[in-house]
Each structure stands twice: as C-alpha cells, then as structure tokens.
C-alpha cells in the first residue's frame, strides 16, 4: 500500500511503522498552513484580512481615544457564510462590569447591538454577538456617520469609545462572497 501526497510516495511496510508514518504525515498540515497566502486590504478605518486558500476573511477596526496612543478597543467581524449570521467580536481593556455587556450604537436613538462578555484576561476582555447579514449591510451603509461602544467599567460608570464606520461598506463588499 502506498500514500501519495503531491508527488511524495510513502510506502507502508509493516504495522509497526504506522506510528512513525502518522507522525511524519502529521507534518503535512503544518506545511499547508505555512503555504497559505494571507492578504490584507485597508478601507479607511477597516481592514479586510483573508486566507486565500480557504477564502476565510475577517474585517477589523481599532479605536483610539483622543489624546491616547494605545488602542482602546478592536472590533472584528467574521463568519460571512451566506444565509448564516456573522459574528461581531469586541475587545476592550479589562476593568469592566461584566454583567452589563457592551453595545455598539449608531446614534443616541439606536438601541444598539448588544454583545455579552465571554471572558477577560489580564490584558483584555472579549464580548461577541451573532448578527444577520442585513444588519452588517446597515452598518456598512452608515458611511462617515460615527458610532459608539458603550459599556460600564468595574465601578459601574458608563464608558464610551467612538467608532468610525468609514470604509466598512467597502470592506464588506471586498470580502469573498
């Protein structure tokens, strides 16, 4: 019996060799992962990153507070399968009131997209939520209009981080469909 993988033939001589062949063949996955091409494209405030071979993409944007050099938050949108919800993940520094979650709002009248906190580690906390594809389109259609991330800190004081939707519409159109 022989196994062929892109011109490489491995002959199995006896059952005792199965373990070493399994270890040897396990390395193919690593080589494939290293061979995948990553592409990125930036559209104003949003960046599309894709793995070409699998057509897996995510769109990210980092927010900074005025006068600060560190990143205050990062929003990542992933899961672009047709007829399935996408996922919006929001990372912010720790020291949050976990029970309140976090909302992405588009204006003062907007009830927002509420995301539950999943975990916190010493450097950051992550909240995420599934959203319909049409909700993403609405966010992309906002263009230059600003949004806000709203949450409570550990002392239960409201905190707001400004979000720009500039370029999100183009980034959503640029991802593979």
The average confidence (pLDDT) of the chain is 82
| Whole-number pLDDT of residue 108 | 80
Q: How many domains does the chain have?
A: 2
User: Do residue 70 and residue 21 come from a single domain?
Assistant: no
CATH number of 101's domain: 2.60.40.1880
User: Do residue 43 and residue 80 come from a single domain?
Assistant: yes
User: Do residue 145 and residue 100 come from a single domain?
Assistant: yes
The residue segments making up the domain with residue 89 are: 38-174
- Per the DSSP assignment, residues forming a β-bridge with 4 are 9
User: Do residue 109 and residue 152 come from a single domain?
Assistant: yes
The predicted model scores a pTM of 0.78
User: Do residue 49 and residue 99 come from a single domain?
Assistant: yes
User: Do residue 65 and residue 115 come from a single domain?
Assistant: yes
pLDDT (tens digit per residue) in 69-104: 999 999 999 988 878 899 999 999 999 999 999 999
Helix, strand, coil percentages for the chain (3-state, nearest 5): 20, 45, 30
């Amino acid at each position: 019996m022989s196994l062929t993988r892109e011109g490489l033939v491995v002959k199995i001589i006896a059952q005792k060799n199965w373990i070493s062949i399994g270890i040897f063949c396990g390395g193919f996955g690593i080589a494939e992962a290293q061979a995948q091409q990553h592409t990125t494209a930036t559209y104003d405030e949003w960046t599309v990153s894709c793995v070409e071979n699998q057509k897996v993409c995510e769109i990210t944007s980092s927010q900074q507070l005025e006068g600060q050099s560190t990143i205050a938050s990062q929003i990542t949108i992933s899961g672009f399968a047709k007829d399935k919800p996408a996922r919006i993940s929001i990372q912010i520094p720790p020291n949050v009131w976990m029970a309140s979650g976090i909302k992405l709002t588009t204006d003062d009248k907007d009830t927002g997209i509420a995301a539950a906190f999943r975990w916190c580690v010493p450097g950051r906390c992550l909240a995420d939520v599934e959203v319909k594809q049409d909700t993403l389109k609405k966010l992309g259609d906002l263009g230059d209009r600003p949004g806000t991330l709203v949450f409570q800190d550990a002392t239960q004081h409201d905190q707001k981080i400004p979000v720009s939707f500039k370029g999100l519409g183009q980034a959503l159109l640029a991802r593979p469909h």
